[in-house]
Structure 1
Amino acid sequence: MAAQSRTHSASSPEGGGSGGPGSPGSPGSPGSAPGAGDESLLAALLDGMDAALCAFDAKGVVTHWNREAERMLGWTPQEAVGRRGLAGWALRAADAEDVEGRLLGAMEAPGRQVHECALVTKDGGRVLVRIQSSGVTGADGRARGVYCAFSEAHTQIDLERSIALSEALLEDAAWGVVLVDADLRPAVANASAARAFQALSSTAMLGRPLGELLEQGVEDLEGALQHVLAQGAPPAPAEIWVRLRGAEPAEGAEPAGGAEGAPGPLAAGGGDGGEQSRQRCWRCGFLRLASPLAEEPVPLGVAWLFQDVTEAKLAERDAARLRFRDTQSNRAARAAAECEDPMEAATVHLDFALAGFADHALLDVLADPDPGRGPARAPRLVRAALTPTGARGRDPGIEPGTASGLPVAYPERHPALQAYQCCGSVRTSAGTPAAAPAPAPVPESWARVRKWPQGTVHGLCTVLRSRGATLGVVTFLRDAGRRPFDRADAAYAESVAAHVASSVDLARPAEAP
C-alpha cells in the first residue's frame, strides 16, 4: 500500500537485513505483524509529526523515516529505509562511528538519551540537530531497536528559550504578569501580580471576573483587553488608574472625612489620602496571544504586564500643580499691582487663585477691629467680596461690601469663626460631624446653614494676618465634583491669604473715620 511504501521497506538495498514492520527485527512490530489498518494509522501518525523521526532495528538498519525528516535532510523514505546506519549518506564517515554508537547505545541505556550532532543533507549541506533517542523492547524484554526524534538545534533552543522566558516572567519578574483568557478572566498570574491585587496567592485570583477584584477602573481595563483581542497590541504602554475592591487606605493616611473644625494650619476634616491612597496607577503593556498550531491566528487571550507607578504619577501631578499655582501667583501679583483700589487687588488675587483650585472664594473682613477684644467674644465678619460674582446657586443675602458694616450671620462654631479664633486654617467636608443644629444634614442644608453657595461640599477657611493683626478670613469652597481639600491646598490657601491680607491692610486706613 502507498502509505506503507513511504515509511517502511521489507528489504535493505544494501543487504543489511529485513526492516519491514512485520519482521521480527522491526521495532514497529515487537510481536506479530500489524494489520493493514494499523499500517495506515502508523504511517499517518509518523508523517503528521512536527519532529523528524527515524527508527533502527537491532542491527542498525533504518526501518522508519517520516516526512519531516525528508523535509529537513532531503532524503526520501525510499532512499533512507533499509540502509544500514547513517554513514556515507546522512553522516560523514568521520562522525559515523561515534554518532551511531550513541544512537544504538540507547537500546541498552535506561530512559531517553539526548545529544547533538551534524547530519548531512542530500545536497551536501550540514544541519546541526538535537536527537532524542529511546530504545524499544519486545514482549520478551529483549532490545528490538531504537527510535530517534530530531529537530534543528536552533529551533529547539528557541523553544527552550521561550519556555524559560515564560517561566521567569511567571516566577521572578518584578512586573505583574497576568494571562487573561478570551472571557477576560485571569488564567495565570505571577507572584508580583498577586501582591498588586492583594490576593492571598496567585491562584486565588484565577478564573474570577476582574470586577470582583477591582472596584474602579475595571471598565477601562476590560475595554483595553477587548481592544487588544480585536486589534492587537497597542503601540505604547497605557497608564490606568484602578482601585482594588476592599482595599484599605495606606498607613498614615487621613480618613476621607475628619472632625470638622480641628484647629491648626493643617487641621480639619477632608483628609489627605483616604480615597486617593486606595487608588493605584498601573503602567500596562498588552500582548495578544495566538495559537502557533492553528492555520489562522486564533486568539488565546492577552498577556497583561503591569507595574505600579502611583508614587511617580502623584509626584508628577504635585509638581505640575505647584508650577501652575506659582504661575497664577505671579500673574495675580502683576495684575493686582495695576489696581488703584486695594480691595479690588484683593479680589484679583482670589480670582487668579480659583483656577484649578476651588469653585468659590469668600472674603470676610473684621467689621470693628479692636485690639482689646477678648477671645471669648465672637468676631463680627463682614462679607467684603464674593468671587465669581453672580455664581450659580448662591443663596440670596447681603451683597458684598463693607460700607454697611452688617456682619454675616455665621452660626456658632462656623469654620470661618474657628479659623479666626485659632489663627490658622480649617478644612471641612459634608458628611463629617457637623456643628449645625440640624441632626443629619444633607449637602444642601449643610451648605445653607453655613451661608455658603448651594452645592458646596468642601470648605477651607484661612485667617488673614498682616502686621501682627488679624484682619478677617478668606474661604475657598468646592462643589461635589471635586475632592476634599488637603494639606497642600491649605498651604496654598495660606500663601494666597498673605497677599490678600496685604491688600486688605492697605484698604483699612482709607475706610477709617
Structure 2
Amino acid sequence: MSRRAPPQPAASRRGCPVTASPRSEPARPARSAPSARSVPAQSAASGPAPGRDGPDLLTALLDGMDAALCAFDADGTVTHWNREAERVLGWTAAEAVGRKGLAGWAAREADADEVQRRLMAVRDGGARQVHEFALVTKGGGRVLVRTQSSPVPGADGRPAGVYCAFSEVHSQIDLERSIALSEALFEDASWHVVLVDADLRVAVVNGNAAVALRTGRKAVLGRPLGDLLDQGVEEVESALQHVLAEGAPPAPTELWVTLREPDEDLEMADAVRYEDLEEDGGAVVRAALGQGSGPSRRCWRSGFLRLASPLAEEPVPLGVAWIFQDVTEAKTHEQDSARMRFRSSQLHRAARAAGECEDPMEAASVHLDFALAGFADHALVDLVSPGGGDLRLVRVAMTPCDAPGPCPPTQPGGIPVAYPEGHPALQAVARCGAVRATASRTDEVALAQWTAARKWPDGTVHALCAVLRSRGRTLGVATFLRGPTRRAFDRADAVYAEDVAARVAAAMDLAGLGA
C-alpha cells in the first residue's frame, strides 16, 4: 500500500504561492524568485520541478539585488522579502514572510488599508504602477518609499500575486538629480566639461568644450589630449594622473595651454557630423570653427573630479571629469597691469639712481641695468660713427658687461661692428623706430649661426632694437636680447624699450657722444 503524501501548505514560509498541480507527486515550494513571472511555484505547464539547488540560487539572486523586493500572493500574504528590504525597513525575512498585508508592522493601521489596496490594485490592472507610501521601520520610524508593483500571473493566466520593488524616495531623487546634473553639464552648462577615461583619452565633451578645443563633439572621442593641445599637454596630463591616483585637488588650478591647429581630416569629419547633429549643438560648433582660429594660447581655470564606480566594493576609477573656464582675457589684463606697475617702478628707480651719477655714461648704464630686470637677458648700445659714407655703428656699451663697472665709452677711432646688410639695428636707424626679430629655427646649429651672423651673444633667440634719439638727432641703437626660455617681444615691450632708449639717448647726448 502506497503512502499518501502530506498536504502542502498554501504558501511556504520563504516560498511562493503554491498552485494546484495535476501531477501525482507534490509540488516543491520555491524559496524565492528572480522575477515577476517566477513568483508562482512550478506547475504542469512549466515542466519538471527545479533541482535541489534551484531555490537557494533564486534566493541568492534576490538577496544580491540593490533594489528592495517583496512579493504577495493572491490573498496579500508576504511571500518574499530580500535583504535590501530588510536594510530599508529593518524587518527581517523571518519576521516579514508569512504576514498578511502590512498592517500593524510595516504600515500604520490608519494607512494600511489604503497601502494594501493600491499595491494589490495592479493584480487586476495588468500594468505596472508606481506609488509613494510612508512605511514604518522596525525601530518605529517612518520612511517615504517609491514602489513599482507588477502583477504575477499563474500557470492558468489568472492573477496569482503581486511583485513589488521599492526604494527610499530620497535615494531615487538623488539618482534623478545626478542624471539631471550630468545632462545639464553636457547640454546647458556655461563651463567647459571634458570626461577623460583612465587611459587619458577623451570620452565625452560638451558643446562649450568642443568650441574651446576647436573640434567637434564626436570627432574628439577616443583621441589623446596630445592631438588637441600643443603646449601645456604635459601639465594637463600630470594633473589628470594625480587626480586618478590621489583624488581631486582642494582648489581650482590655472593651466596655460596652446591649441593645435585643426587638421583637414578632422574638419572634413566635422562637416559630415554637422549634417547629422544639427539639433545637438553641431551648428553652434560649426559657426565657432568658421570664425577663425584666434589666439591659440589660452589660460583655463580648471577643476578636476575623480569618477569611480558606485557598484564596486572598492573604488574603481572610471576616469576624470575636467571642468574648466577660459580666463585668458582676465589673466592677460591682470598680467599687463602688473607688468606696467613693475616697469613704471623700474623707470622711477632708474631715474633716481641715474640722477646721482656724475658721469653721463654711467647714468646710461644704470638705465640699462634697471631695464633688464624681468625684461631681457642682454642690452647693447651702438652709436652712429661720425663721418660720411655708409651707416656704421660702433659698440659703446653692453650689459651685463664682462669688465667690472660700465663699459668704456667710444673713442674717435672706434672700429665699427660688422653688421650685415638688413641687420635689425640698421633697420631701426633707417626707420627711426623699433624693430623686432626672432630666430625662425631653434635647433642648436642654426641658432648659433643666426646669432653669430648678427654679432649677438650665444643663445639669443629674440631681439628688439630701439633707436636712440635726442634733440632731433639719431645717436644710435639700443638692442635688447632674450634667450630661448623667454617669449618673443611684443608691442608693449617695444613701447617700454623706446621709453628706456629715450632716457639712454639723453644721457649719451649729455656725455657728448653720438653723431
Name the TM-score, length of structure 2 as normaliser.
0.79
Runs of 4+ in structure 1 over 4 Å off: 18-23
In the alignment of these two chains, the number of paired residues is 454
Match of 1:29 in 2: 41
Query: What SS class does the counterpart of residue 508 from structure 1 fall into?
Result: coil
Aligned counterpart in structure 2 of residue 221 of structure 1, from 229, 236, 261: 236
Alignment-mate amino acid for residue 81 of structure 1: V
Instruction: Give 2:247's aligned residue.
Output: 232
1:305-340 deviations in Å (ceiling 9; x for gaps): 222222222222222222221221111111110111
Match of residue 384 from structure 1: 396
Report what 2:219 is aligned to. 204
Aligned equivalents of 1:388, 1:26: Cα separation in 2: 90
Partner of 2:15: 8
1:76 aligned to which of 83, 88, 92: 92
Aligned to 1:504: 508
Q: CA deviation digits over 1:349-402, x for unaligned, max 9?
A: 111111221222121223338xxx8xxx643433222222129xxxxxx97524
Q: Distance in 2 between matches of 1:26 and 1:419?
A: 92
Q: Is the 8 A contact 2:215 2:262 kept in 1?
A: no
The separation in 2 between residues aligned to 1:384 and 1:22, in whole angstroms, is: 102
CA distance in 1, matches of 2:31, 2:429: 106
Please state whether the residue corresponding to 1:280 is helix, strand or coil: strand
**Greater shift in the superposed pair: 459-468 or 82-91:** 82-91
Q: Which residue of 1 aligns with 2:8?
A: none
Contact 1:8–1:19 (8 Å) recurs in 2:
no
Matched, 1:319 2:337: yes
Long gaps (5+) in structure 2: 1-10, 19-26, 264-292
The residue correspondences of 1:137-216 to structure 2 (distance < 5 A) are: 137-201=153-217, 203-216=218-231
Mapped contact 2:14–2:97 kept (Cα < 8 A): yes
| Identical counterparts, % of pairs | 65
1:469 matched to which residue of 2?
Answer: 473
Amino acid at match of 1:96: A
Q: State the match for 1:479 in structure 2.
A: 483
The match for 1:46 is 62
- The answer to whether 1:417 aligns with 2:426 is yes
Deviation larger for 334-343 or 67-76: 67-76
Which one of 442, 448, 454 corresponds to residue 446 of structure 2? 442
The answer to whether the 8 A contact 1:289-1:300 is kept is yes
Give 5+ residue unaligned stretches, structure 1: 12-17, 249-274, 392-397, 433-440
Structure 1 counterpart of 2:370: 352
Larger mean CA deviation between 336-345 and 413-422 belongs to 413-422
How far, CA to CA, are the matches of 1:285 and 1:298 in structure 2? 20
- Decide whether aligned partners of structure 1 residues 289 and 79 sit closer, same or farther in structure 2, where only a CA change above 3 A counts: same
Tell me how far apart the structure 1 counterparts of residues 411 and 127 of structure 2 sit (CA, whole Å).
Answer: 99
User: Structure 1 residues 222 and 168, CA, compared in 2 at 3 Å: closer, same or farther?
Assistant: same
Match of 2:382 among 364, 367, 374: 364
- Distance in 2 (CA, whole Å) between partners of 1:363 and 1:240 is 38
Instruction: Give the letter for the 2:360 counterpart.
Output: P
What residue in structure 1 maps to residue 328 of structure 2? Answer: 310
Tell me the residue number matched to 2:276. Answer: none
CA contact (8 A) 2:364 2:507 kept: yes
- Shift, 1:465, TM fit: 1.8
**Would you say the 8 A contact 1:22–1:29 is kept in 2?**
no
Contact kept? 2:67, 2:165, Cα under 8 Å: yes
Partners of 2:12 and 2:29 within 8 A in 1 = no
CA deviation string 1:432-458 (max 9, x = no partner)? 9xxxxxxxx933333333333333332
2:31–2:56: 8 Å Cα contact kept in structure 1? no
Q: What CA distance in whole angstroms lies between the structure 1 residues aligned with 2:228 and 2:331?
A: 22
Q: Which amino acid aligns with 1:282?
A: W
Shift of 1:5: 6.4
Residue 343 (str. 1) matches residue 361 (str. 2)? yes
Deviations 1:27-60 (A, max 9, x none): 4337448433332222112222222211122332
Tell whether 2:330 aligns with 1:330. no
Relative to structure 1, is the Cα distance of residues 6 and 407 closer, same or farther in structure 2, using a 3 angstrom cutoff? farther
Q: Quote the Cα distance in structure 1 between the aligned partners of 2:334 and 2:38.
A: 74
* Residue 252 of structure 1: aligned partner: none
CA RMSD of aligned residues (A): 3.3
Contact preservation (8 Å) 2:367, 2:503: yes
Counterpart position of 1:15:
none
Worse-superposed segment, 331-340 or 182-191: 182-191
Match of 1:458 in 2: 462
Does structure 1 residue 494 correspond to structure 2 residue 498? yes
1:493: how far off? 0.5
The equivalent residue for 1:296 is 314
Cα distance in 2, alignment partners of residues 362 and 6 from structure 1: 99
Separation of aligned partners in 2, 1:22 and 1:216: 64
Q: In 1, distance between residues paired with 2:14 and 2:164?
A: 14
Query: CA, structure 1 residues 219+121, in 2 after alignment: closer, same or farther (shift >3 Å)?
Result: same
**1:460-497 CA-partner distances (Å, limit 9, x unpaired):** 11112222332222121223333221111111101101
The 1:488–1:54 alpha-carbon spacing in structure 2 relative to 1, beyond 3 Å, is same
What is the aligned partner in structure 1 of residue 106 from structure 2? Answer: 90
Distance 1:230 1:380 in 2: 63
Q: 1:386 to 1:6 in 2, by over 3 A?
A: farther
1:117 deviates by 0.9
Letter in 1 for 2:503: H
Q: Residues 425 and 461 of structure 1 are in contact (CA less than 8 Å); yes or no, is this contact kept in structure 2?
A: yes
Q: TM-score, normalised by structure 1?
A: 0.79
- Which whole-Å deviations, capped at 9, do the CAs of 1:198-233 have from their partners, x for residues lacking one? 2222x3222222223322222222222222222222
Contact 2:17 2:41 in 1 (8 A): no
CA distance, structure 1, for counterparts of residue 160 and residue 101 of structure 2: 15
CA separation in 1, counterparts of 2:475 and 2:172?
82
Query: In structure 2, what is the equivalent of residue 260 of structure 1?
Result: none
Give 1:149 shift.
0.9
What is the CA-CA distance between 1:192 and the residue it aligns to?
Answer: 2.5
